[in-house]
Amino acid sequence: MERYNLVVIGAGSGGLVVAAGGSGLGARVALVEKHALPFTPEGGIAVRAMGGDCLQYGCVPSKALLRAAKAAHAGREAGRFAIRGVNDPGPQDLGAVMDYVRGAQAHIAPNDSVERFEALGVDVLLGPGRLRSAHEVDVNGTAVWGRHVVIATGSRANIPPIPGLEETGYLTNESVWHTRILPGSLLVMGGGPIGAELGQAFARLGSKVTIVSSTPHICPKEDADVAAVLVKELVSEGVTIHDNSSATRVAKRDGRKVVAVKSKSGAEFEVDVDEILVATGRRPNIEGLDLEAVGVKFGTRGIAIDAKCRTNVPSVWAIGDVAGPYLFTHWAGYQAGIVLRNTLSPVALASCDVANTPWITYTDPEIAHVGLGEEEAAKNGVSHRVFRAPFEHNDRAVCDGTWENNFAKVLVDPKGKILGATIVHPHAGDLLGEIVLAKKNGLPFSALASVIHAYPSLSEIHGAVAREYVKTSLTPSRKKILTKLAAFLRR
């Protein structure tokens, strides 16, 4: 039986980081993956790419699709900038757009390929992995032994048991990438980030989109005032949104897919569309691992782990979507680093920093968030103050035409410590890092007011919102002194 320091099951973003990092540190690593799809970069040689959900069905194709959709939308918006554009370009060629998406995937695929990881010294074992014991993993009938076993099998779309849905047919974040004909109308079940992103993309490409969300507003993890900005934009682009509603049954009628929708009030109505996209959450990929036989604890949300990514079985670890609590590529990669330190380093075990984990919803505008939200802080009785700055006073945003409705807000505790922040803007994701850095390192919020931000830049929003806090920190006596000083200087 082959023996390894690390046996990794699943070659998604988390598993790849563990494998590459472990091999780079001198460990003997086996990487088990049952899906390796062929990709051919333009003018290149086909490779067998791993990459999991991120490369195959998630982050990479969705962001490429969003970029193509943004280009289509830019033509309609050209008149805002006194440019003669295309006011109504009509439905786009989805097949051509999907070719662009495929090209982006093919460009990235070599980084996640079997060939690259074998060149790094990793033994790549293609096939489903199953736990035979706390240290043994079976792959296609052959067992390998690992001092540590890392489970990184990811997640997949959660399909609700709606009568008629299976018989009628639907798309998920996996099957949608095989669609070549743009649906004239599309109903999206679910108003989370996946549903909002793909819904907006298809609307911009020319589909008539309806989003049915069971929550009070789309992007339910965000504060209501944050989601409202995105809702306003989506509605302006022709998207219909039904909040506090759920699909109750689906049927085919005259070649169309008819979805019965029930609102919170009990009223029912029908929406007939060409296609349905199901984006009602994710479920962990734990089937076939034989977790029960080894005694690894798990539930509906995935494998149970502690802050150090350990399961209840000392030699078994779990990271990424299969364990959570976040279902982000960057979270899986971060957890991979924690596992490498905890399995290969002699120093004290490291723990995950949940409180400083950012997330971004890549709609237009983007929503970028870290830490506590305003509603969450109020619900949990956390003492806080909220400071805001609108982009309407940011000269770069004014020049770019991205100032309207967008804003940044930061939650601060009584001592001036940053509790959380949210930015709503087309470039919110790129702007969030400065606040994450300050929060992570315990800098007082006032520190952002003293940073010199280049003019004109969107980053000036940080100084603007921090100065709102600084204004409130002036005591009456300090204000009196400053007032007298100003009067003296005016003489």
Q: What is the pLDDT of residue 348?
A: 76
- Condensed to tens digits (0 to 9), the pLDDT of residues 380-412 reads 999 999 999 999 999 999 999 999 999 999 999
- Condensed to tens digits (0 to 9), the pLDDT of residues 441-452 reads 999 999 999 999
- Condensed to tens digits (0 to 9), the pLDDT of residues 417-474 reads 999 999 999 999 999 999 999 999 999 999 999 999 999 999 999 999 999 999 887 6
**45: CB partners within 8 A, 6+ apart:** none
Nearest 5 degrees, angle CA 7-CA 10-CA 11?
A: 100
CA 431, CA 459: separation in Å to the nearest integer? 6
CA 57, CA 174: separation in Å to the nearest integer? 5
Residue pair 281/246 in contact (Cβ under 8 Å)? The answer is no
CA 177, CA 274: separation in Å to the nearest integer? 16
In the chain, residues under CATH classification 3.50.50.60 are 2-157+283-354, 165-280
Q: What is the pLDDT of residue 431?
A: 98
Walk along the chain (491 residues) and give the pLDDT tens digit of each residue: 899 999 999 999 999 999 999 999 999 999 999 999 999 988 788 999 999 999 999 999 999 999 999 999 998 888 889 888 676 678 999 999 999 999 999 999 999 999 999 999 999 999 999 999 999 999 999 999 999 999 999 999 999 999 999 999 999 999 999 999 999 999 999 999 999 999 999 999 999 999 999 999 999 999 999 999 999 999 999 999 999 999 999 999 999 999 999 999 999 999 999 999 999 999 999 999 999 999 999 999 999 999 999 999 999 999 999 999 999 999 999 999 999 999 998 777 899 999 999 999 999 999 999 999 999 999 999 999 999 999 999 999 999 999 999 999 999 999 999 999 999 999 999 999 999 999 999 999 999 999 999 999 999 999 999 999 998 876 666 667 657 666 766 66
Q: What is the dihedral of CA 184, 190, 193, 199, to 10 degrees?
A: 10
Q: What is the pLDDT of residue 473?
A: 74
CATH number of 165-280: 3.50.50.60
AA letter at 61: P
Q: Which of 245, 279, 259 is nearest to 165 (CA)?
A: 259
Please state, for a pLDDT cut of 70, what percent of the chain lies above it. 96
- Fold category of 2-157+283-354 in CATH: FAD/NAD(P)-binding domain (3.50.50)
Q: What is the pLDDT of residue 44?
A: 84
State the pairing for strand pair 316-318/142-151.
Answer: parallel
Q: Structure tokens of 368?
A: 């970028």
Residue pair 348/342 in contact (Cβ under 8 Å)? The answer is no
Query: For the chain, what is the HEC assignment?
Result: CEEEEEEEECCCHHHHHHHHHHHHCCCCEEEEECCCEEECCCCCCCEEECCHHHHHCCHHHHHHHHHHHHHHHHHHHHHHHCCCCCCCCCCCCHHHHHHHHHHHHHHHHHHHEHHHHHHCCCEEEECCEEECCCCEEEECCEEEEEEEEEECCCEEECCCCCCCHHHHCCECCCHHHHCCCCCCEEEEECCCHHHHHHHHHHHHHCCEEEEECCCCCCCCCCCHHHHHHHHHHHHHCCCEEECCEEEEEEEEECCEEEEEEEECCCCEEEEEECEEEECCCEEECCCCCCHHHHCCCEECCEECCCCCCECCCCCEEECHHHCCCCCCHHHHHHHHHHHHHHHHCCCCCCCCCHHHCCEEECCCCEEEEEECCHHHHHHCCCCCEEEEEEHHHCHHHHHHCCCCCCEEEEEECCCCEEEEEEEEECCHHHHHHHHHHHHHCCCEHHHHHHCCCCCCCCCHHHHHHHHHHHHHCCCHHHHHHHHHHHHHHCC
CATH class for the domain made up of 365-472 = alpha beta
**380: CB partners within 8 A, 6+ apart:** none
In the chain, residues under CATH classification 3.30.390.30 are 365-472
How far the first Cα of the chain sits from its last, in Å, is 89
